[in-house]
Amino acid sequence: MWPDKRAIDLFKVELPIIQAPMAGAALSDMVIAVSDAGGLGSLPCALLSFDQARSELGIIRQKTSRPINVNFFCHQQPAEDPVREMRWRRRLDGYYIELGLDNNSRGQTANRAPFDHKMCDLVAEFHPEVVSFHFGLPDKNLLARVRETGAKILSSATTVDEARWLEDQGCDAIIAQGYEAGGHSGMFLKRDVATQIGTMALVPQVADAVKVPVIAAGGIADARGIVAAFALGAAAVQIGTAYLLCPEAKISPIHRQALRKVKDNETAVTNVFTGRPARGIVNRLIREVGPMSDDAPEFPLAAAGLLPLRSKSEAAGSRDFTPLWSGQAARLSRELPAAQLTTQLAKETLEKLRSIGTRSAG
């Protein structure tokens, strides 16, 4: 028996396990596998075009009737800042020369567009049971449109203030995302990385501050973490990094290899890849330019200057300029298909809860 059924009842799922939306790493096959296993599969749309998102949603709805989560970024598109852009160019110049690249061959950050009315049309067309956002919430009109579809609305909080703000805007549940988490931090009220809070400290404080169910995220990768999340007041967990070694994860061989070897102290929160703080495995760019750089243009503009460096170095088998997103608990990951990982996590959590109960009773 699960110790808290609020999230299970809210999402109408069997297991309180959400496969984290992971832009660039999860597509329809992972969502279907997790949702069919009884968890909540999540389709990240931040890096998908409208047509790609529509096609993925079509596949999902064709193959499973289980509840799903569809996820969007909702940052403000930044204004051009030519001075900062130039500083970033100068900062990367040496690498362009080293790799024999033309400094004017910058890439385009065509996607990572914030949630808009067009994407909202997809929500209205496919009626995902859950819609989650990262970096706060979209504007009131868009949020009202999402609500009209009947979807439950979630977003990530990295502080108690953010959690209260999200609850005030009407979120049905709040993801308390700790500093351990892989990928982008959802922080949106402040941008101070130095004061970010770990999952262990964040979850109970958020659970005390809001009435809606809290979903713990960040550094949770096995039954011990899930049991701990319940003990801290969470009603479900959102797990990202642990799903990255599943065969369904659409990550590059370089990323997969790095995840297989990464140690607990080899990740860092950095803004050098996109302009926003995100946790990844430390590589040359993070070491030499970051982890945090004032020169990096605002999210998502920093990424454009890196694309040529990344493609050239990756082609030569190097990970120097590749974002290798990972949380701090990557070493706990197991290489299992996503459905099996979901059912194993659930089974092992229930066993652990039983064994703790038996021990304390004895």
Given 39, 114, 136, 182, the residue binding ligand FMN (CB under 6 A)? 182
Choose, by CB under 6 A, the member of 67, 183, 275, 300 that binds ligand FMN.
Answer: 183
Binding mask 152-181 for ligand FMN (x = CB under 6 A): ----x--------------------x--xx
Task: Determine the interface stretch with ligand FMN among 27-35, 91-99, 235-243, 262-270 (rule: CB under 6 A).
Answer: 235-243
Residue (95 or 216) nearer to ligand FMN, CB? 216
Which one of residues 25, 31, 131, 187 is an interface residue with ligand FMN (CB under 6 A)? 25
Segment lying near ligand FMN (by CB under 6 A), choices 56-64, 86-94, 119-127, 237-245: 237-245
Measured distance CA(9)–CA(173) in Å, rounded: 12
Stretch 70-89 residues interacting with ligand FMN (CB under 6 A): 71
* Residues near ligand FMN (CB under 6 A), total: 29
- The three-class DSSP label of residue 321 is coil
Instruction: For ligand FMN, give the closer residue by CB, 69 or 343.
Output: 69
Q: Can you point out the beta strands (E) in 135-200?
A: 152-157, 173-177, 183-184
Q: Based on CB atoms, which residue is closest to ligand FMN, 93 or 264? A: 264
Interface residues for ligand FMN in 312-341 (CB under 6 A)?
325, 327, 329
Residue of 182, 183, 179, 133 lying closest to 153 (CA atoms): 133
Residue nearest to ligand FMN as judged by C-beta position:
240
CB 122 within 8 A of CB 131: no
Burial of 284 (0-12, 13-18, 19+ CB in 10 A): middle
9 backbone dihedrals φ, ψ, rounded to 5° = -70, -40
Among 23, 37, 68, 120, which residue sits at the site for ligand FMN (rule: CB under 6 A)?
A: 23
The CA angle 204-217-118, to the nearest 5 degrees, is 120
Q: Count Cα neighbours of 177 within 13 Å in the Cβ-side half-sphere.
A: 28
The residue to which tokens 């809606």 are assigned: 212
> Which residues, 6 or more positions from 218, have their beta carbon under 8 angstroms from its beta carbon?
177, 178, 179, 180, 181, 198, 199, 202, 327
| Pick 118 or 354: Cβ nearer ligand FMN | 118
Q: Is residue 39 a contact point for ligand FMN (CB under 6 A)?
A: no
Which residues of this protein are in contact with ligand FMN, per CB under 6 A? 20-23, 25, 44, 46, 71, 132, 134, 156, 177, 180-184, 217-220, 238-242, 325, 327, 329
